[in-house]
Structure 1
Amino acid sequence: MAVKEKDKEITFEVVEHIGVIAVNTTGWKKELNYVSWNGNAPKYDIRDWDEEHAHMSKGVTFTKEETKTLYELLGGLEL
């Protein structure tokens, strides 16, 4: 799929949908996915998506190494 951002086309493919973190009152969902951006190697990605995965909010991406580090950091939290 492709979206335009300030006269620049961004392509993406949701390689794997991992899960929904939260659902907004608008129906958009904060999700963890494994996404390939602009044909590059996929990264773990957290952002809000509309139901069709045609529009998204700004988000954050993590390499596998960064995801491992985040996992370790979260594992040490007392919730």
Structure 2
Amino acid sequence: MPNIKYEIKETVGILSENNKGWAKELNLISWNDREPKYDLRDWGPEHEKMGKGVTLSRDELKKLKELLNELDL
């Protein structure tokens, strides 16, 4: 598997954390020196390991916000 370069530009927030120190985070990340996108995934302590996640453009994040606002929670 090739090396994936990433840089967390901004931590938007942490949704949850488990007892092993892994946290589900929403971050603004630049992948392989590309334009930063919003990213939701699990991260190990110190961000040395990551789980599978979802990367969203600004427009996709706006649409997701609209959809979540429509939910009756």
TM-score normalised according to structure 2 size: 0.96
Gaps of 5+ in 2: none
TM-score normalised according to structure 1 size: 0.89
Segments of 4+ in structure 1 off by > 4 A?
none
Q: Which residue of 1 aligns with 2:62?
A: 68
Write the letter of the residue equivalent to 1:33. N
Q: Does 1:43 align with 2:22?
A: no
Q: Does 1:23 align with 2:10?
A: no
1:18 aligned counterpart, secondary structure: strand
Could you say what the CA RMSD is over the residues aligned between the two structures, in angstroms?
A: 0.6
Identity of aligned residues (%): 49
Q: Which has the higher helix share?
A: 2
In structure 2, how many angstroms separate the alpha carbons of the residues matched to 1:51 and 1:25? 11
In structure 2, how many angstroms separate the alpha carbons of the residues matched to 1:54 and 1:39? 18
What is the total number of aligned residue pairs between the two structures? Answer: 73
